[in-house]
Amino acid sequence: MENEEKMMTGEESLRIITEMINKTKVNIRQGIFHLLFWGWLIFAISLAEYLLLKFTDFKHPYYVWMLVIPGVFVSMIYGFVNGRKAKVHTYADMIYMWTWLGFIIAATVLFIVHAKSMETVASYIMLLAGFPTFVSGFILKFRPLIAGGICFWIFALVVHFAGPSLAPLGVPVAMLTGYLIPGYLLKNKVDHDKV
């Protein structure tokens, strides 16, 4: 009689399996927002800096990077509001969040350390950005995002070795291949309920 009480019903087993699966899922829509938001923001800023440098006499084209500051606030507010709406925070959500938070902290430290030589920062930032993008691809089981991380690493090398005439175009191209294309592919996949 005791053995019969200890045995699980099929319904209980299914519930436990479903809970385990749900503990490994990630809030993909929030990830998509951040990929597309930062992809477009950095693409526009880096392209604007290149155009100002190439076609104007503006002495400080890098000032356009100040637009990252309101971008951080938009991103934080979006994350906070949607994080509060989420009923469940899974293990994968936490790994995903801490991976990206680690990137933000590392990038901030890099900017502080290289404040006097900002022209060398782009390749390092792309090197750093490749890591959370690559890891996110594995967390989400989405190959285009893994490829996006690899693209960041490739363009970090291109920017480092290309020279001053081509290097500034490496950042917008890296944003296109690292964030925007994978971001739209992931959005399309989610919108068609394939994830």
pLDDT digits (tens, 9 = 90+) for 26-53: 568 778 999 999 999 999 999 998 898 8
Q: How much is the mean pLDDT over the chain?
A: 83
Region for 13 from its dihedrals, namely left if φ exceeds 0, alpha if ψ lies in -120 to 50, beta otherwise:
alpha
Radius of gyration from C-alpha coordinates of the chain: 21
* Entry pTM: 0.80
Return contacts of 155-160, CB within 8 angstroms, 24+ apart. Answer: 155/126, 156/123, 156/124, 156/126, 156/127, 156/130, 157/123, 159/122, 159/123, 159/126, 160/123
CA-nearest of 187, 188, 191 to 34 is: 187
Q: Where are the domains of the chain?
A: 27-191
Alpha carbon distance 114, 83 (integer Å)? 33
Kindly state the average pLDDT of the residues 80-101.
78
DSSP sequence for 147-187: HHHHHHHHHHHHHHHH-TTTHHHHHHHHHIIIIIHHHHHHH
Alpha carbon distance 97, 121 (integer Å)? 24
pLDDT grade for 54, boundaries at 50, 70 and 90: confident
Looking at residue 28, its amino acid is I
